[in-house]
Amino acid sequence: MPYAERDGLKLYYERDGSGQELVFVPGWCCDHTFFAPQFDYFKRTHAVTALALRGCGRSDFPPDGYDLPSLADDVAWFCAEVGIEQPVVVGHSLGGMIAIELGARHPSLPRALVADDPGPVHPTDLASRLYPGSRSSWLGRPVRTCGGRGWWTASARRPTTSSGGRSSTRCAPFPYPSPVRSSTVARWNA
């Protein structure tokens, strides 16, 4: 199994194909398998890499480092470690936010960025009302605002690789440990 290791942190990834580099960065609650249909399709014509971020799938679960700058730096370090130059970075949800942060922090690294359904980079008024309730429920506190666990569970659906293709969904409610969840959204309530 391929891992890249940095200061004791192991990040799991899969690579295949050859040609222009594509790096797939999954969203929150997802691992490297989220982009399996795209990975399988593009490996015929591109070098494709699917990464499991820290705290996801087969990668390590350290107690910290889940803020956007740290996650973007993980992706930049990973690309250098594995020898990926000028990739098209494709991120979904949180992965899209990481791709945007990566472009801002390491502008010479990506050839292009694709942010598929990224979370709010600058939270809107609605998001500001939803996130405090979700954060409270994740930390075990009573929810006093709209949103909460049900809203996030309904939003945590992802495509499967069933014979029906993208027509079926699978709910992935909160596989992250509490430090990951709270660290990710703590700044939004500051």
Q: What whole-number distance in Å separates Cα of residue 134 and Cα of residue 152?
A: 7
For the chain, how many structural domains are there in total?
1
Span 118-130, mean pLDDT? 62
95 pLDDT tier (thresholds 50, 70, 90): very high
Give the helix/strand (H/E) hosting 113: strand 112-116
Which residues 6+ apart lie within 8 Å of 38 measured at CB? 24, 48, 90
pTM of the predicted model as reported, rounded to 2 decimal places: 0.68
Q: Please list the alpha-helical segments (H only) found in the chain.
A: 36-42, 68-82, 94-105, 125-138, 149-155, 178-185
* Domain hosting residue 97, numbered range: 3-189
CATH number of the domain bearing residue 126: 3.40.50.1820
Query: What single-letter DSSP state applies at residue 141?
Result: P
pLDDT digits (tens, 9 = 90+) for 27-64: 988 999 999 999 999 999 999 999 999 999 999 999 99
